[in-house]
């Protein structure tokens, strides 16, 4: 294979290797770029869904705490204020409960089975706070109801904090 003083294979191996590498990169770059895009998209969705769930949960906790605070401090002589806060609490819990299984699917998909159990604990605490709030629909024993609500809110805050630390 000598052509006028050299070996074609030996003299052109570098060019052939470079061309082969470029060809292989071209073939596999689409797959690689697709995987990178998928991972970035998944990370974006994970952040988006975490934020949406965290905002909905924080909204509920905020208004439930505000309601509890009114009773703890004896600021209950303005029925419009209590009704307004009660409406916000109801709207927030309705949002959480309506989307509970959507949230559960997000948690399972983006954070795994361990966090699903923690999320289930959070939602059970949300329901317990909601039950404690429903006790205010009946007259009397506001002090006992307020103590019970405060205890349930503490449990909810602790469960939500554990879950958020695990998923963020």
Which pLDDT score is estimated for 48? 85
pLDDT tens readout for residues 100-156:
999 998 888 888 888 888 999 999 999 999 999 999 988 889 899 999 999 999 999
Which pLDDT score is estimated for 8? 67
Please check whether residue 117 is in contact with residue 165, taking contact to mean a CB–CB distance below 8 angstroms. no
Query: Among the CATH numbers 1.10.150, 1.10.3470, 1.10.760, 1.20.120, which is that of 41-167?
Result: 1.20.120
- 7: number of CA atoms within 13 Å, CB side? 4
Backbone dihedral region for residue 138 (phi beyond 0: left; psi -120 to 50: alpha; all else: beta): beta
Q: What are 131's two structure tokens?
A: 């039950």
Residue tagged 């809110």 (tokens): 153
Q: How far is CA 55 from each of CA 114, 152, 157, 164, rounded to the nearest angstrom?
A: 22, 20, 14, 11
Residue tagged 């939500």 (tokens): 160
């Amino acid at each position: 294979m000598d052509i006028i003083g050299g070996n074609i294979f030996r003299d052109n191996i570098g060019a052939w290797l470079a061309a082969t590498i470029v060809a292989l990169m071209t073939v596999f770059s689409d797959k690689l770029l697709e995987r990178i895009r998928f991972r970035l998209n998944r990370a974006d969705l994970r952040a988006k869904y975490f934020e949406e769930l965290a905002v909905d949960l924080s909204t509920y906790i905020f208004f439930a705490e505000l309601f509890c605070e009114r009773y703890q401090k004896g600021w209950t002589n303005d029925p419009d204020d209590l009704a307004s806060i009660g409406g916000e609490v109801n709207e927030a819990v309705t949002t959480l409960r309506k989307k509970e299984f959507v949230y559960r699917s997000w948690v399972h998909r983006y954070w795994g089975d361990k966090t699903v159990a923690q999320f289930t604990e959070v939602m059970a605490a949300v329901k317990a706070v909601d039950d404690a709030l429903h006790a205010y629909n009946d007259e009397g024993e506001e002090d006992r109801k307020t103590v019970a609500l405060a205890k349930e809110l503490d449990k909810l805050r602790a469960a939500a904090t554990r879950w958020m630390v695990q998923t963020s």
